[in-house]
Structure 1
Amino acid sequence: MDKICFATNNPNKLKEIQRQLEGQYQVVSLKEIGCEEELPETQETLEGNSAQKAQYVWDNYKVSCFADDTGLEINALNGDPGVYSARYAGPQRDSDDNMDLVLKNLEDKADRSARFRTVITLVWNGEVKQVDGIAEGEIITVRTGDDGFGYDPIFRPNGYDKTFAQISADEKNKISHRGKAVEKLITLLKNL
Structure 2
Amino acid sequence: MYNIIFITHNKHKFEEAYEKAKLFNINLQWINLEYEEIQDDSLEEIARSSCLKILELRPDLKDKSFFVEDAGLFINCLRGFPGPYSAYVFRTIGNWGILKLLHDVPDNERSAFFKSVIAYYHSGKIELFSGVIQGKIIKSLKGSQGFGFDPIFLPAGSNKTFAQMNKESKNLKGHRGKSLQELFTSLSKPPSSLKDR
Q: What corresponds to 1:169 in structure 2?
A: 167
The residue identity in structure 2 corresponding to 1:146 is S
For this pair of structures, how many residues does the alignment match?
A: 182
SS at match of 2:183: helix
Matches within 5 A, 1:17-166: 17-22=17-22, 24-31=25-32, 36=33, 38-44=34-40, 45-59=42-56, 60=58, 61-62=61-62, 63-88=64-89, 93=91, 97-110=93-106, 111-166=109-164
TM-score, L = length of structure 2: 0.87
The residue identity in structure 1 corresponding to 2:117 is V
The residue identity in structure 1 corresponding to 2:152 is I
Shift of 1:100: 1.4
SS at match of 1:88: helix
Distance 1:2 1:174 in 2: 21
SS at match of 2:16: helix
Q: Which runs of 5+ in 1 are unaligned?
A: none
Q: Which runs of 5+ in 2 are unaligned?
A: none
Shift of 1:2: 2.8
Shift of 1:58: 3.6
Q: Which has the higher contact order (CA 8 A, sep 6+)?
A: 2
Shift of 1:15: 0.5
Distance 2:5 2:85 in 1: 24
Distance 1:56 1:4 in 2: 18
Shift of 1:161: 1.0
Q: What percentage of residue pairs aligned between the two structures are identical? A: 37
Shift of 1:40: 2.3
Shift of 1:43: 3.5
Distance 2:77 2:178 in 1: 25
TM-score, L = length of structure 1: 0.89
Q: Structure 1's 58 and 24: CA in aligned 2 closer, same or farther, altered over 3 A?
A: farther
Q: Per-residue displacement from partner, 1:121-146 (whole Å, max 9, x unpaired)?
A: 11112121101100100000100001
Shift of 1:109: 1.5
